Chains A and B, each alone.
Chain A
Amino acid sequence: MLSYILKRVLATVPVMIIVAVFVFLLLRLTPGDPAAILAGDAATPAQLERIRDRLGLNDPLHIQFFTWVFQMLKGDLGTSLISNTDVGGMIVSRLGPTINIALMTIVISVALAVPMGVIAAWRHRTWVDFAVMSFSVLGFSIPVFVIGYIFIQIFAIELRWFPVQGYTAPSAGLWDFFSQAILPSLTLATIYVALIARMTRASMLEVLGEDYIRTARAKGVRENVVLFRHALRNAAVPILTIIGTGFALLISGVVVTESVFNIPGIGRLTVDAILARDYPVIQAMILLTAGIYVLVNLIIDVSYSFFDPRIRY
């Protein structure tokens, strides 16, 4: 087990190296000039040239690359070309909102979707099944920003239950945090609920056909015990998998919801940085999200053995 984990961790090293090189090259090939954003509309060509010099943007590519790698190895993510602030610090302050919203989304999604999926499978081919599936189909057929606007219109403007926008750290006020985070989390959760509910339903359907379930039922085990203890546990692996692969989906949803709900998270940070060609920020952010993706999937792979005793390493 331990050697397996070690092997998996080592396997991520080349992946991260390729990501780093790829992103670096992609950005340098992209037209754009951070100096122009820094200096504004009326700057003269000579002034821009001097600023580019200062920022090291006129150095040969390989020098820029190794300067960056060397910095990274020292644990320094660099300095934003535009705001001249430390990239590490920027990311840390923007990470909190995204992680909190993402966690809340996952909690809401799992809490809603797993029971939905289980019930749909249990009442297979009834109106309950149909309703659950229709809802989840709808969830991923509508673009996220439209869902966000609809929620704002209903819950914030008509009903006035929650604020339209903003973010408060949980440490600064738990109630404020919840009231502001609930709509963006629900918005994100619609896709995620769709995803997990369908996966739960499908794997439950497979499991419910197995012999041991029939045996358990025949022995008179109570139905909810059958469903939630026996069946669900065996259906857990694909459900877990979907939470992992859904991470990528979550990121793209985060980018959009952070704009709609004005949340100062990393999604917006990255999009703003791409549009402003703030290279150090983009590079750090993409490495970070790639790292999290790899890590999440690693954890999920490892946790398979816990849920499915048949998988051993």
Chain B
Amino acid sequence: MADMQDSRRSAFQTMTGLLSLPRGARLGAGPTIAAFLLVVIVAASLLAPLYVPYDPLTMDAMARLSPASAEHWLGTDQYGRDTFSRVMYGGRVSLLIGVGASLVSVAIGLCIGLIAGFFRKLDGPIMRVMDSLMAIPAILLAIALVALNGPSLGSVIIAITIPEVPRVVRLVRSVVLSAREEPYVEAATALGSSMPKILIQHLMPNTLAPLIVQGTYICASAILIEAILSFLGAGVSTEIPTWGNIMAEGRNYFQIKPGLIFWPGLLLSLCILSINLLGDTARDLLDPRMKKREG
């Protein structure tokens, strides 16, 4: 039964993880297009300072909510800031949140998971704490965490990270649990290898493939959760544009000026789509067994 629980994936992972190629198939057009899209979006975001026409923070009270024009390609928002510049800059921050949240949660989850999987005595208590964290709805936990630390970029990343950690821990732990029964690990233990050495040299490599896959899903979900946090008034400050807070601020103008939601929304959706597709591909390439084990 324990295995069954461990194989239960996070809702998001399952949700996003199954648009996959049939096993053994070659890379199709999907992942290629996704990779291309993602490269374009990432490059466009990273290089934004080089080509956007305005500072994303410069306001102009007299030109607020102006329509698209030669001067403002996508119009302006309620502060008179240039939407195009903000959306492109917003990509940087949204991607940073996605990558940051996935790296941090994978790193923390890996450490805890290795410990839980290896030390039998710690396994019980650690997993109970992880169960508890999972039982608290992620969005409510995130709002409370943002309230605790203030809505800075770092604290939003942490708020998104903490609810993800238990899922990573479960994944790592299940990999370690099965790997530690392998003959070479048993041999290493018998030969008196030190604990850290066994953990890092023998057990950790096994977790790499599933973690890369899991990381991409966390990245996609973090970008979405950031948008929801902004909607609920618990997001990053408006001085740091993100796709999420541009959309959240633009929601009052949905009927008057839909572009404020449409453009960041389009990029956000394309980005999430691509990340997930690539995650699926990575899953199939890196670990063909994973799908079967988890199904």
When distances are taken between beta carbons in the complex, the residues of chain A under 8 Å from B190 are none
* Known pairs A149-B261, A245-B11 / 16 extra A-B pairs, C-beta < 8 Å: A15-B132, A26-B145, A31-B147, A140-B224, A198-B14, A198-B18, A241-B8, A242-B11, A242-B15, A259-B232, A270-B140, A274-B147, A285-B140, A289-B135, A290-B132, A304-B4
Q: How far is A255 from B229 in the complex, measured between Cα atoms in Å? A: 11
Question: Which of A66-74, A99-107, A169-177, A199-207 touches B?
Answer: A199-207
B189 interface residue per 8 A CB criterion: no
Within 122-138 of A, Cβ neighbours of B (below 8 Å) are at: 125, 133, 136-138
Q: How far is A304 from B1 in the complex, measured between Cα atoms in Å? A: 11
Given contacts A141-B272, A251-B140, A293-B135, contact A195 B11 (CB under 8 A): yes
When distances are taken between beta carbons in the complex, the residues of chain A under 8 Å from B265 are 142-143, 146
Q: Within the complex, what minimum Cβ distance (angstroms) separates A148 from chain B?
A: 10
A221 interface residue per 8 A CB criterion: no
Question: B143 touching A137 by the CB < 8 A rule?
Answer: no
Q: Within the complex, what minimum Cβ distance (angstroms) separates B275 from chain A?
A: 10
The digit string for A3-44, where 1 denotes a CB below 8 A from any CB of B, is 010000000001110110011001101111000000000000
When distances are taken between beta carbons in the complex, the residues of chain A under 8 Å from B132 are 15-16, 18-19, 22, 290
A286 interface residue per 8 A CB criterion: yes
Question: A26 touching B227 by the CB < 8 A rule?
Answer: no
Question: A248 touching B137 by the CB < 8 A rule?
Answer: yes
Question: A289 touching B136 by the CB < 8 A rule?
Answer: yes
Question: B232 touching A144 by the CB < 8 A rule?
Answer: no
When distances are taken between beta carbons in the complex, the residues of chain B under 8 Å from A286 are 136-137, 140
Q: How far is A30 from B146 in the complex, measured between Cα atoms in Å? A: 9
Question: B19 touching A30 by the CB < 8 A rule?
Answer: no
Main secondary structure of the interface of A (DSSP, over half): helix
Q: Within the complex, what minimum Cβ distance (angstroms) separates B222 from chain A?
A: 13
Q: Within the complex, what minimum Cβ distance (angstroms) separates A313 from chain B?
A: 7
Task: Among B128, B140, B144, find the residue whose CB has the most chain A CB atoms closer than 10 A.
Answer: B140
A282 interface residue per 8 A CB criterion: yes
List, sorted by A's number, 5 A–B pairs whose CB atoms are closer than 8 Å. Answer: A26-B144, A133-B19, A145-B248, A271-B140, A290-B135
What are the 7 closest A-B residue pairs judged by CB atoms, nearest first?
Answer: A252-B139, A290-B135, A18-B132, A141-B269, A251-B137, A198-B18, A245-B11
Q: How far is A139 from B255 in the complex, measured between Cα atoms in Å? A: 21
When distances are taken between beta carbons in the complex, the residues of chain A under 8 Å from B8 are 241, 245
When distances are taken between beta carbons in the complex, the residues of chain B under 8 Å from A140 are 12, 15-16, 224, 272
Task: Among A4, A15, A23, A191, find the residue whose CB has the most chain B CB atoms closer than 10 A.
Answer: A15
Nearest B residue to A191, CB-CB? B15
Q: Within the complex, what minimum Cβ distance (angstroms) separates B38 from chain A?
A: 13
Nearest A residue to B272, CB-CB? A141
Which residue of the partner chain, among B10, B19, B261, contacts A137 with CB atoms under 8 Å?
B19
Question: B144 touching A274 by the CB < 8 A rule?
Answer: yes
Q: How far is A291 from B228 in the complex, measured between Cα atoms in Å? A: 24
Question: A198 touching B19 by the CB < 8 A rule?
Answer: yes
When distances are taken between beta carbons in the complex, the residues of chain B under 8 Å from A114 are none
Given contacts A143-B224, A274-B147, contact A138 B269 (CB under 8 A): yes
A86 interface residue per 8 A CB criterion: no
Q: How far is A138 from B247 in the complex, measured between Cα atoms in Å? A: 17
B209 interface residue per 8 A CB criterion: no
When distances are taken between beta carbons in the complex, the residues of chain B under 8 Å from A32 are 147
Q: How far is A285 from B136 in the complex, measured between Cα atoms in Å? A: 10
Question: A245 touching B9 by the CB < 8 A rule?
Answer: yes
When distances are taken between beta carbons in the complex, the residues of chain A under 8 Å from B251 are 145, 149
Q: How far is A60 from B265 in the complex, measured between Cα atoms in Å? A: 47
Question: B128 touching A27 by the CB < 8 A rule?
Answer: no
Question: A23 touching B14 by the CB < 8 A rule?
Answer: no
Q: Within the complex, what minimum Cβ distance (angstroms) separates B174 from chain A?
A: 15
A194 interface residue per 8 A CB criterion: yes
B187 interface residue per 8 A CB criterion: no
Question: B232 touching A256 by the CB < 8 A rule?
Answer: yes
